[in-house]
Structure 1
Amino acid sequence: MKNSVLIVDDNQAVLSALAQLLEYEVEKVIGIKSPGLIPGIIETQEIDVIIMDMNFSRGSTDGQEGITWLKRILQDDSDAVVLMITAYGEMDLAIEAMKSGATDFIAKPWDNDKLVATVRSGIMLKESRKKVRQLKSKQDHLSHYIDAGHEKLYGKSSEMYRVQETIRKVAPSDSNVLVLGENGTGKELIAREIHQASSRSNEVFVHVDLGAISESLFESELFGHTRGAFTDAKTDKAGRIEIASGGTLFLDEIGNLQPTMQTKLLNVLQNREIYRIGSNKPQAADFRLISATNQDLRAMISENLFREDLYYRINTIELTAPPLRERGQDIIDLANYFLEKYRAKHKRPGLRFSTGALDAIQRNQWPGNVRQLQHSVERAVLMADGRKIEAGDIFPGASERDSPDEIRRPTLAQLEEISIRDSIQRNGGNLSKAARELGVARSTLYNKMKSYGI
């Protein structure tokens, strides 16, 4: 068994006997005489089972010292497994210890086989508690993931065929993937497709928008923290990397990482372990990394804005999401897909595009790509009169008489609306984060939302 046991007893003979007995049962046995050393040990080392005497001061027999230290241990780590050592005939003390949170008790003189079995059971219990804690963190993330809902990657064009072929080739491996592309091209959808086609598909997919995380919150969000690590750390919290263990970690907008954060991420990728803030215990980090950006990382490297060694770590495979304007018939197919989706959502059965609207959709350059098309179609479904969506519903202010150049690009206001909707969606409806990402005050964001009917 590759585990560790801490023995706390002021009797050296007891420490030696227990250490000798457990030497071949566990990987590490630590023996100390003073309970005052317990906090420092459990803070820096992963301890599976604590075996502790109930009396330490000379002449003490009431067991209250042991009870006091038991409560303190459980206060610091509610998952701790503590076995109390009691003298034969002290059953009342053993019962009191169990009521105070002890896992079990060991009566002196002990039976070697029974003691070993009790320690083994304690180790199995600690492992179970660890798994429950990890599963709870993953469940919380999965609940958010399921509630959010996600579009599927779609496209029949030759450009999308190449993307799908690359996904098919790289998904089965654990290689790091860097997805490049303009805003709104579906980089996250590509990352999710890779995850779903991989051997990790039954595990979590954790999306981290690095553009929405400030430098001060970076470590807490990615690495997690222990209770009391800083003022607002009321409980232990698993970081995104820990939650992603066994699954896929998707780092969106990786080009926004500041140099100090780049170094910390590089260390994780090199060592494959993390430290929660406030803890000196390393935790293994087993995840498949997919990153995405709309920035030119090579240019950023030449300008000393992005670490070259990190760049080579994250892009074992490089994949580019094509802009919508280069996807031919996919534009109309996607428009019809969004039309079907939103006429059902907004109860507009029978609504369809006019010939002029389809022509305008096909000829538009779509600088906001698929995301802009999606928002434009939903707005048109809401605003269209009758049973047809006209070009003016897609591009307010345009008509079917307008030339291609006149309807080619959206207005500044339309682009602003798209950016606001996109930021709110990306931040899960958190307006404070969206305002921070957009670089405006929260009150300004409220006013913009009101003016655009968001």
Structure 2
Amino acid sequence: MNTFHNESAEDILHQNSSNPSLLFVDDDQDVQAAARLLFRRRGIKMLSAYDTQEALTQLAIHSFDLVLLDLNYSKGATNGAEGLALLKDILILRPDLPVVVVTGHSGVTIAVEAMRAGACDFVMKPWNNDRLGNLVDKILDGRKSETMAESESILIIASPDMKRIVAEADRLAPTRAPLIICGPSGSGKTVLAQRIHALSRNTGPIRMIYAEECNRLPEGGGTWIFRDVEALAPSLQRQLADRLDGGEAVRVIALTSQDRKTLEAQLEPRLMLLLGMVTLVIPPLNERPDDIPALAMHFLRYFASRHGLPEPVMEPRHLAALQAGLWPQNVRSLRATIERAVLMGTWETPSESPNASGDGTPTLRDAERSLIETALRNHSFNVTKAARELGLTRPALYRRMARYGL
């Protein structure tokens, strides 16, 4: 897997912090080096990414004013499909972030397709330094940097199952159809729901509603995301069904950790009929091990930057242990494990972790305790916020805290 080849942190710190910054996504190190020299002379900070995953991680770590986007990253690729898919992801994460396509092999036709998809301009390789520099200056002129994205808003996928699910979600996103997203806690239901809203034609607000705490339905339209929809009070279930039956200008995305059959027994039949025309099912993380390397590298880079610490070296044996691991809270559990590795500067082995299983994989108890500790620390031991992050009720979190002596 590629690593970032950027200016050192010291180099960046010596630059004026008010200088604009851009991300250049291109797999060619020579092209990156030439671009870095060009933009350094113009007082523009440039960071590099060499493929899709690195680009998404950089967007989670840093704020940028502009993205320069090559369209092919794999050896022999010329059709621009990788870059067009990444362009879509960038515009979901940062709708107002300008993207300039930089293309050679793909040609003008694909560059024009990229502009139709949301890119603001394109340049051809080999570029003219003055023209590229002037184009970038024009776009950056007067633009303010965006706030940093949170890692949770980044959808990192590599497995065929998740690619299929995301493709179906993207196909349905422009419609107004209500949806149910099923999947175990921490598997990525909320991030997928946010992606659907971002790709929809719904210009209204997005509202996150915790069904267990909901006393009344919101007013107005937009997208309503109900977490643990089965916990919605029966009277509110009937009211929600009435609103959907009445054609109210709202889109409902219902999230649940239950399977469809169990959910049918818990929801008012009319509401289930209205919501359940389309159900997307996200499998648990241990059933899609191909996603684990991509997620692990993303979280390694994210937390190393967030905490200002070096990334611990991830050897093949560490990755094998992660892929064989038990993840009771799915991506959340993996996230907590990677953050702990960054904070400790090393990976736990059986000799370092007395509670670990014989094959070096943390036990279910270890993983759950670590996850709870991390959530509590992240929220300064605010139990309500930690419980919400973990997808638990306050009483359920208190019981687990007592079990682990926290």
Instruction: Measure the CA separation in 1 of the matches of 2:249 and 2:240.
Output: 14
**Corresponding residue for 1:155?**
157
Return the offset for 1:299: 2.9
The residue type equivalent to 1:265 in the other structure is L
Instruction: Measure the CA separation in 2 of the matches of 1:356 and 1:418.
Output: 22
1:289 aligns with 2:252: yes
> Contact conserved, 1:297 with 1:306, CA < 8 A, in 2?
no
> Contact conserved, 1:423 with 1:438, CA < 8 A, in 2?
no
> Contact conserved, 1:185 with 1:323, CA < 8 A, in 2?
yes
Return the offset for 1:431: 3.5
Instruction: Measure the CA separation in 2 of the matches of 1:175 and 1:337.
Output: 32
Return the offset for 1:168: 2.0
Q: TM-score, with normalisation over the residues of structure 2?
A: 0.55
Instruction: Measure the CA separation in 2 of the matches of 1:423 and 1:270.
Output: 41
1:338 aligns with 2:299: yes
> Contact conserved, 2:300 with 2:311, CA < 8 A, in 1?
no
> Contact conserved, 1:297 with 1:311, CA < 8 A, in 2?
no
The CA deviation string for residues 81-101 of structure 1, in whole angstroms up to 9 with x for no partner, is: xxxxxxxxxxxxxxxxxxxxx
Q: Aligned match of 2:183 in 163, 175, 181?
A: 181
Q: Map residues 100-119 of structure 1 onto 2, 5 A cutoff.
A: none
The residue type equivalent to 1:335 in the other structure is A
Q: Aligned match of 1:418 in 356, 359, 371?
A: 371
Alignment: residue pair count = 257
The residue type equivalent to 2:193 in the other structure is A
Instruction: Measure the CA separation in 1 of the matches of 2:253 and 2:277.
Output: 10
Alignment gaps of 5+ in structure 2 = 1-146
The CA deviation string for residues 125-155 of structure 1, in whole angstroms up to 9 with x for no partner, is: xxxxxxxxxxxxxxxxxxxx99877421111
**Corresponding residue for 2:132?**
none
Return the offset for 1:156: 1.6
SS in 1 for 2:153: coil
> Contact conserved, 1:254 with 1:291, CA < 8 A, in 2?
yes
1:254 aligns with 2:207: no
**Corresponding residue for 1:360?**
321
Alignment gaps of 5+ in structure 1 = 1-144, 223-238, 273-284
Q: Aligned match of 1:372 in 333, 336, 340?
A: 333
Q: Aligned match of 2:395 in 440, 443, 446?
A: 440
Return the offset for 1:358: 1.7
Return the offset for 1:320: 0.8
**Corresponding residue for 1:49?**
none
**Corresponding residue for 1:164?**
166
The residue type equivalent to 2:393 in the other structure is L
The residue type equivalent to 1:295 in the other structure is Q
Q: TM-score, with normalisation over the residues of structure 1?
A: 0.49
SS in 1 for 2:258: coil
**Corresponding residue for 1:266?**
241
The CA deviation string for residues 349-386 of structure 1, in whole angstroms up to 9 with x for no partner, is: 242223332221111132321111001111221123xx
> Contact conserved, 2:182 with 2:260, CA < 8 A, in 1?
no
SS in 2 for 1:407: coil
**Corresponding residue for 1:195?**
197
Instruction: Measure the CA separation in 2 of the matches of 1:325 and 1:450.
Output: 24
* Root mean square deviation of aligned Cα: 3.6
Return the offset for 1:417: 4.8
The residue type equivalent to 2:211 in the other structure is L
Q: Aligned match of 1:397 in 347, 354, 364?
A: 354
Instruction: Measure the CA separation in 2 of the matches of 1:431 and 1:262.
Output: 28
The CA deviation string for residues 377-408 of structure 1, in whole angstroms up to 9 with x for no partner, is: 11221123xxx434469x94367xx643x626
